[in-house]
Every structure is written in C-alpha cells, then in structure tokens.
Structure 1
C-alpha cells in the first residue's frame, strides 16, 4: 500500500542559523508534537511478557446450571509498561476454534503449561504486537475450550462472550482468577482501547460485537466474516448446506457443553427450518440491521472467490456501514477462504501494524489518508482505489435478449421487446459447466453475452438480476452468475487450498519462545490458466419470491418475478473479452436442488441485470460502441411489498 509522505520544502535562503532560531522559538508543546511517534517499535521483552488467564462473567446462564457463565480470556502482555505506570491497548481474537480445530494455515491451537498458563497463543499477533506495546487477548467463546456456557452460533451467547471481555477491560464487568473461584481481578494494565480481529467465525464475532455499540471497541478487522447467519445457510430461501447451526455448535463445543447444552442445540435446530424461511432465530443473528450502532472503524478483508463465507456478507455489511458513516478500509483478494497472512504476508503485517498504531495508539502515520481499497487484479498484482466502490460507480441496467440461436442470447443496453428463453434444472451441472459452454446451446441454462468489449469494463460492488419466470413444477431454484469470457491466469480458488500453495520454508514475524514460535510456513500463489472466469453469483428459491418469511408452493404455468442478489465483487472485464450473464437452476455443489426438476421459461422483456459499473451507463456505451445508449442509471428499487430485504454456510466454516 502506498504511504503518503509529507515533505517540507526549504527555501534556498534557509541556513543552519535560521533552523536553530526556529527550534529555539518552538514551545515545549510544539517540540513534543514534532517528535510524536509514527510507529510502535519492538522495545519490550516477549520472553518475559506476562501470561495470564481470567474468567469473565457474562451474566448469562446458557448451560442452565444455576450460575452465570464465565468465559476464559488468555492474555499475553508486555510486563514493562505496567511497572512504569503506563497502560496498553488490546488486540483481541475471540474464537470457538482454539481447541477443536485450530487457527491459521497450520491449524495452531492454544497450549498451556502445568499451571494452566498460556504457552502458545495461535497466530502471529502476540509474537509481533506484544513487543510493540500491545496486549493480545484470546477469548474462548462460550461453550468452547475452557469457557462455561453453550455455543449458540452467532447469537447472544457468542457475542456476549467477547463483549463481556471488552466490558471488563473497561471496568464494567467482573473477572475471576479461576473458572469457579471467587477471587476477582481488574484489568489495571490496559487503557481499554480494544481492536478485534479474526477470520471466519472469529471475524463474525467482531462484526456482531461491533453491532452492539459497545464502548471501548475502537476498531475491528473482520476477515472473510459473516454479517448475517441466515445468509450463511441460505440464499434467499435456497439451502446452501445440508446441516444447520445445531450441527455446527456440536462440532466446536467442549465436552462440558456437550453434556449440558442439548436444550440450546434443540433451539438452534427448531429455529432454523430446512425450508429456508426467515425466523426470529435469524433476526437475532443479523448484524446488518444494527449497523447504525457501530462505533468502531472497520478494516474488512475478503477473498472475492470465497465460496464458504460468500461475498454477499461483505457487500451488505459494507454498504450498511457506509450508509451510517462508519470509517472503513478494505482488501479484496482473488483467493477463496484464505487469511491475508497467507497470500500477501509482508504487506499485510505492515498494513495491520499501521492500522492498529493509528486506531489504538493514535499515531498519525498517514494510513487514514491512504487509498481505501487494495484489490488483487491478477495473482500477486494489486491496485488501489481512493474509495470503494470508486466514485462514479453507478447501477446500470443491462438487458438479455434473444440471439440468433436458441439458448445463446445477447446482453446489452437495449431492452428486448419480446422473446423467451427456456432451460431445465439439471443438478449434475453448475456454473463452471455453464461458463465452459456459453457459446453453445445446452438445455440446462440460458446464456447471454455482450459483443467483444472495445474497452475495459469494471464492475465494483453488488448487483441484482430480476427475472420474470414461469416454472412447470411446484418447486424451483434459480442461479444467476456473471462470467468474464476470455483467457486469463487466475488464482486457483477451486483447488483445496483456494489459491495458495504452502511451502516448506518459514519466515519469522516477531519474537519467539520455546513454546510459541513466530516463524510460519511461507506460501505462494497457486494459479491456473482459464478461458473464462465466474466472478459474481446469486441464488434463490422461487417459492420465496414474495417473502423470505414463508416459502410457498408454486403454481405450474404461472409467471413469477424475483430479484436475485449478486455477491459483491471488483472485476475488470478486459477489452476483447465478453461479459456474460447465465441464468439457470441448481448450481451444483453450491446450492441444494429443489424436490422437482422444473423447466423454466424466462420472459426476456421483463428480465434485467442491474450491475455496478464504474463510469455507469457511459462506460457501457463506450465499451459497446455499436449498441444503443444504455438506460440511464436509476436508484436501486426497494423490495416488492411484503418482502423483507435480505440481510445478508454445512461444511463447518473453515477456521
């Protein structure tokens, strides 16, 4: 990331005597201001850091044993500041994975000595930041590792686990020296300024805690994080996974929770019906609706090809934060569900260091004036944007129309006066099959392509596809995907490692002890040559066309209108490539099929794609010079009457 440096230009008449006089005239306050630090330095001993554990009272009794639940917080902090009467800020990672699954590319777990003191805190945060004057706190979510309570998968227990620790750091909650004892302990060593960080479920908790508006939380760094748990399990009524939150809770919970939390797991199962209906359980786990409460700044990180925590989570969270004026920063990579430490390590550590220095220590290091967005345009090739989406991005309407061959239509600025396209759901096929045969009619899809572009066309943000469709059966699922049709070399996100290769040699990021090494296996980009790139997706159950609250059987032969939300992206379709829209049924391995195998007919005169184009309609006109002018940008329409705008996965969300 470029660093803006301020330069002072001295006139040629300036002399050493003038400089001396200027220094002499400075007030002591001005001299101190000139010497203000811009970077925390590793001046404290990691080997002699204080390592301790506390159990914070959450005020809840989720395991229903008659006493309030306490969550374990393991702390690594520099010893010297407390002896000098100075207080330090906190970097916190609250996680359910510290014992069951591990953190990071090497699946590190917490380890303890014979006295129960933390020996290894997973990841590099403590190794790097403790010598620089930060405390690092690893919180076991309720019902996991050494904490009491029950896992409730993004609900009150999850968020209170971490919020209670922030309250304790700020003198508003009680902590104890043991899990069951009565001896209390105060956080006299901290100034209470806390930043939360974490990937996947950990980052989700950061989002959830920020949405409570808790005081003392100054910034969050959510990496590939969920913003609404409904959208992890369903896409507008279409099931994304076989399992539900009750199974996920069982996967991560401790042995004690296994014995005492059956009632909570039943509540999770009962509140998340496989029908895909929105229930009160999902409302309680929707952080987007509470974005107005967020006081913390947000540095969001996301793989644009993450098919675990899909980018719909990022898009709706980012947009909601923007509406409420939250200070934001963003990194977007070509990877899947991967931590930036494993695809851009040096730049990530440097940027994170500067971010925490600015947000938690108040250092004026320029990161707030740097570009808002870093975007990986090609493997290991990054660009920046002053704002994201860039200024001048406008929602622009594109229209599918019949082509010269059935099943292969056109996509452009001019609406289709008439015409239909028909496809039959085939759960054996998915987006890669459709994209590979875009120029060939196949019965399982309807494809629409622009002419080869005369100029690059950049899409940045979230789009929508509205269809008018008639099914032949009582159930039907829909998929809409955007495709860049043309050759490229991309990160191999479909590989098991989702775009990286882990190497055997290591690099070190901070100080080490015998039990906690700061050295981690290096990685490199794993790439693949392609003829097409699917870069945005959306899915839906047509039975939820009127409301997410209740799906209904369809009437065969009746036409329905439904709008599919497309996941956020930032992608450039290069000159000479074609932009394509595919509309089909089941997307194999990404949504579950319906109970029937419908044939669906699209009314192309009432089907549109509203896409976030940088430059808006004029950019489309210039990219397709032979087409009629694009329809002018218009405000995004609200949902049909009675439809709750969705807020927005089971394999377990990858740690």
Structure 2
C-alpha cells in the first residue's frame, strides 16, 4: 500500500462523545500497532497469539486508498502471498475518529481464516481526506475504489467478495453493494435500511439521535449538505429536503437490485436501538428475497457487536464469519438451512430461532382502551382522558442514547418505580391503561400496533406511546414504544393515529400486566405541542381505540 505522507501513527482515542462507548480505543490501537511492528509486549497473551498467528500466514500493511475526487483514505490491508484463489472482505469504518482501527481484531480474524481484507476509514473521519457525506455518492464511490485497491493487490484470483460494516460502515457497505455487482455478500451490523425513518419516525423528529450523531462527529469534517440536513431536523425546518437527502442514502431504495442479484445479506440489530430504530431495518429485511439472516439482541446501538470487536466471544460475529464462509467460500456449514431470524428474548436471554418476525403461528390479541384506565376485551365509547403537554414525565424511551443498552446487556434494564406512573396519570401528565394479570407467561413476539383517537386543541400535536411490563409490586419495564406527530390537522380536530410500536421479543411473566402509557413529552423526540396544551384521548364508536399485541 502507498505510504502516508504523514508520520506513521494510529489515531489517538477520540475525545468526542462516542456512539460506541464500550470500544477500548487504546487496546485496539495497541493491537494495530503490534500488527505492523511485530512487537507483542503491549498485548495480553490471547491478542498477542492472534497477531503472531496472522504474521505467520499473511502480510499486514497500512497506507492509503485513493477514493473519489482523489481524496486519500486511511486504510489497512491484510494480504496473503501466493497464487492460491481467495475470498476478500472490505470493511468501511463506523462513525468514529477511530476509523478502520475499530476493525483491527476482527479483520485479523478474517485474514487468519484465509481472507484478504481491506479496512478503511470513511471520508471526513480520522486521517482520511474529504468530508463525511453520510453514505452519499462519494462514500459509495469510495467503497468501489477500495474494492479496486484490494483486487489490484491480491496475489491470486479473488473468488468471492464481501462487504462488512458496523453502524455507518454497514450503511456504506449495503449501498456500495447495491451499486457494484462485484459484491457477492454483505454483513450489515447495527445499520439502517430507511434513513428517513431514522430522522423522522411517524412524522416525529428523532432529535436525540441526531444530536448524538453530531456530537460523535465533533472532530470529523461533515459535508455542508450533511450538516444542513441534520441541523434542519433539529430545527424542525425543510422536512421535505431532509427526506430527499435521506432517501438517496437509504438501502431500502435499492431492494430491486438486491433481489435481482439475490444478494445474501446478514443483519444484526438491537431491540431497544435508540439510534437506528429496528422497524426500519426490519422493513428492508422483509423485502429481500435472496438469502438473508437477522440476529436481534438485547441492548442498544452496536452493543451486541462491541464484545466481538474487542476479540471476545460474540454470537453476532460468529454468524458473520459463518455467513461469509458459506456465501464467499462455499463452506457447507449449515447456514443455508438455518432459521432466518434469531431473537434474543427479553429478559431470559434465550436464543429463539424462527423463519420470520412474528414467527408463524403468532396470534394477534386486541385490547381496547377504556375510560376506566383498563385494557379490555370489548370496546368502550364516550370517554375522554386528558394529557398535559410540555411537562416532563417519569416514562421515557431510555436514559441516554446508546448507553442505556449496555445496562440492559448487563441485566439491569431500566425500571420505573412503583407509584410514579400512577401519580403522573392522576395529574394528567401521562395517560395510562392497564391489562389483566397474565395467567401464564405472555410471549410478545413481533410489532405491537396502536390505533387511538385524540382531540388536539392546536394544529400541531405529538404523543409517545409505551408498552410496559407492570409487575405486581407496581414497578414496570419497557417492552417497546413509538412516537407519533400530526402536523397538518386544523385546531380542535379529532386526530386518528395508527402506528407500529417497535418490534420486540419479550416474555411477560405470569401475574404481570401489560401497561400502555401515553405522554406528550419525551426528551428523545422533538414535539409539535404548545406548552400547557392538552391532548384529549377518546374512543369513537366507528373507530375504537385499541392496542394489538402479537402473542407467540
């Protein structure tokens, strides 16, 4: 590879808030340094053995890839010598100044299995030139140039090509594969399918996610178009422009190309993902007709993948290796005969295989909202439940973007203390409806759906719906949620909301109850309500209000 003009050094651990807080930047940098120098003294024994084994079978070098517009991209190459045919993997970096170094351990693992690997830092981040374009045309061109770079340096024939990425790198990988027929398989971990739904969910601005993206890119160089689109979401302006910008960067827009080529795609995602909510990726997964697999895990953005990035055991990374072994090297490892969806159930952590989500045989249980604050089997009309706007509530989507998921992975999901929800409902800060006690474990599997009618005094309105597991002691835990906004109805209108809550695999224990809560304010979202306005929920006879829960 071409030697960089700057002195050879690896990126310093980034100081900006990270979307990947569990990644040990110092350890990954030390690993990458050892790959280049051969000095193993700074590594623990397991990592030292991996470096030593890699250096015995392949050559590691770092340098630059010439990307679009002549911009130089910081990169590293794991290359085998000799004329033997090999498969190859390209790995675009996540949304971090750590760049390709985030993949140092996993790229080495692929190379040790016989792959040639190129990992590179996306434009605008770390030591790479250019401006971050959020998987725009320049990023796609960079991905194709990176593949050219790898193929030009392969010592023998390349028999199969895979793109693998985490988060931002996964989005770039999918979009590159859509534009480059040379790509034979993709592993897209914690990615997006529809970027528009990441920015606006049910017409509601996902402001906390956008703030997190901008904070994590404080030391990056964003393109003016990217910066403007993200800031427009925060300011609540030019929603049409933001949607068009996002559409051009959405793998969902390329479903026909993926299906024409029957491109094998492996996805992984977290149930309580706060950055890229799961439903928009599930929508892409459902539309694909080629070989596909989806691993769904407890946690939040990149939480399930972080352990593997550091070299620790990981179901997701094991599946990624097996996926490429089968689709790029024709390994008869059984991947093609396995269930398409593997769900980690909250909170037993059991791994549950199925051919879809929801699994075949799942029934939908409809529970009607009543004026008595109950979820009942029969509709009730003529009631009103007021909801006060502009007031903080005890129920929120999570305590923090990304980080809340690590507590869940450690077995400490957020619990809403007994009495807080009741007190908030009594003062109209929340509206709440409680179902009957479960006679046996209630296996919620799939996407709960809510239909509700409310009257809004003003022309703009927002509410957030949460489905909770209410324990006998009065405490509750989040199963799933979703926001909804109406931006166009005239004042004092009846608004009908039909929304999908985020997908879930949740076991409600015997004796626990389903609890549906609505709030008009959540710090994760930009709301359209006026302060101290009121939303009045009701249930008209022609269109009763209800929640549908898929039960396995």
**TM-score strictly above 0.5:** yes
Residue in structure 1 matched with residue 360 of structure 2 by the alignment:
391
Instruction: State yes or no: 1:602 paired with 2:537.
Output: yes
Tell me the SS of whatever aligns to 1:583. strand
Native 8 Å contact 2:454 2:535 kept in 1: yes
Residue in structure 2 matched with residue 86 of structure 1 by the alignment:
84
Residue in structure 2 matched with residue 361 of structure 1 by the alignment:
329
- How far residue 199 of structure 1 moved from its aligned partner, in angstroms, is 2.5
Instruction: State yes or no: 1:297 paired with 2:305.
Output: no
Residue in structure 1 matched with residue 376 of structure 2 by the alignment:
412
Native 8 Å contact 1:397 1:608 kept in 2: no
For 1:147 and 1:479, how far apart are their aligned partners in 2?
40
Larger Rg, first or second structure (1 or 2):
1
Residue in structure 1 matched with residue 109 of structure 2 by the alignment:
128
For 2:439 and 2:75, how far apart are their aligned partners in 1?
57
Residue in structure 2 matched with residue 327 of structure 1 by the alignment:
291
Instruction: State yes or no: 1:277 paired with 2:258.
Output: no
The superposition leaves residues 73-125 of structure 1 with CA deviations (integer Å, 9 ceiling, x where unpaired) of: 4211233xxx1x21221233201546x2x37xxxxx63xxxxxxxxxx74421
Segments of 5+ residues of structure 1 without an aligned counterpart are: 1-41, 62-67, 104-108, 111-120, 171-184, 404-408, 489-529, 544-551, 616-655
The superposition leaves residues 433-475 of structure 1 with CA deviations (integer Å, 9 ceiling, x where unpaired) of: 6986455543112211211122333232223322221112333
- How far residue 188 of structure 1 moved from its aligned partner, in angstroms, is 5.0
Structure with the bigger percentage of helix: 2
- How far residue 132 of structure 1 moved from its aligned partner, in angstroms, is 1.3
Tell me the SS of whatever aligns to 2:325. helix
Equivalences for 1:11-22 in 2 at 5 Å? none
Residue in structure 1 matched with residue 202 of structure 2 by the alignment:
236
Native 8 Å contact 1:464 1:566 kept in 2: yes
Residue in structure 2 matched with residue 480 of structure 1 by the alignment:
465
The superposition leaves residues 310-338 of structure 1 with CA deviations (integer Å, 9 ceiling, x where unpaired) of: 223333222333xxx13222222222220
Q: 1:223 to 1:413 in 2, by over 3 A?
A: farther
Residue in structure 1 matched with residue 131 of structure 2 by the alignment:
150
Tell me the SS of whatever aligns to 1:141. coil
- How far residue 541 of structure 1 moved from its aligned partner, in angstroms, is 2.0
Residue in structure 2 matched with residue 75 of structure 1 by the alignment:
77
Residue in structure 1 matched with residue 300 of structure 2 by the alignment:
336
The superposition leaves residues 515-557 of structure 1 with CA deviations (integer Å, 9 ceiling, x where unpaired) of: xxxxxxxxxxxxxxx93221111112221xxxxxxxx3x5332
Residue in structure 2 matched with residue 312 of structure 1 by the alignment:
279
For 2:307 and 2:389, how far apart are their aligned partners in 1?
38
Equivalences for 1:46-57 in 2 at 5 Å? 46-48=54-56, 49-52=58-61, 56=65
For 1:153 and 1:249, how far apart are their aligned partners in 2?
15
For 2:417 and 2:182, how far apart are their aligned partners in 1?
49
Instruction: State yes or no: 1:536 paired with 2:483.
Output: no
Q: 1:450 to 1:55 in 2, by over 3 A?
A: same
Instruction: State yes or no: 1:401 paired with 2:401.
Output: no
Q: 1:208 to 1:487 in 2, by over 3 A?
A: farther
348-357 vs 563-572, which deviates more? 348-357
Aligned pairs, number: 469
CA RMSD of aligned residues (A): 3.5
Q: 1:350 to 1:243 in 2, by over 3 A?
A: closer
Tell me the SS of whatever aligns to 1:161. helix
The structure showing larger relative contact order (alpha-carbon pairs under 8 Å, at least 6 residues apart) is: 1
Instruction: State yes or no: 1:428 paired with 2:392.
Output: yes
- How far residue 363 of structure 1 moved from its aligned partner, in angstroms, is 0.6
Residue in structure 1 matched with residue 25 of structure 2 by the alignment:
none
Q: 1:435 to 1:71 in 2, by over 3 A?
A: farther
For 1:413 and 1:540, how far apart are their aligned partners in 2?
25
Residue in structure 2 matched with residue 166 of structure 1 by the alignment:
147
For 2:314 and 2:94, how far apart are their aligned partners in 1?
27
Tell me the SS of whatever aligns to 2:370. strand
